[in-house]
Amino acid sequence: MATPTGAPGATNLPDYAPVPQSAIGSALNEQGYYVGRVERNLYWVTDGSCQSAFLTTKDGAATGFALGERA
């Protein structure tokens, strides 16, 4: 019989903890992006890895800025 490793009494624990639903993130659209409204005319966009934000005005969209970086 093999000797369990780890803390005493921990033999009934799974090998990993399940990923919480809140960590899954937003569903991406057909183009592979999610666009969400932060507040009024401020939006954020993600591809599930990188995020950017942009601000809309009556004249169009203001410059977005990167909040993440691809490896």
Place of tokens 């005493």: 8
Query: What is the token pair recorded at 26?
Result: 């937003």
Contact predicate 24/18, CB 8 Å: no
Parallel, antiparallel, or unpaired: how do β-strands 51-57 and 34-39 relate? unpaired
Q: Who's near 45: CB < 8 A, 6+ residues apart?
A: 33, 34, 35, 36, 51, 52, 53, 54, 64
Q: 10-residue block means of pLDDT along the chain (71 residues)?
A: 58 77 88 94 89 90 66 49
What is the predicted pLDDT for the residue at 59? 93
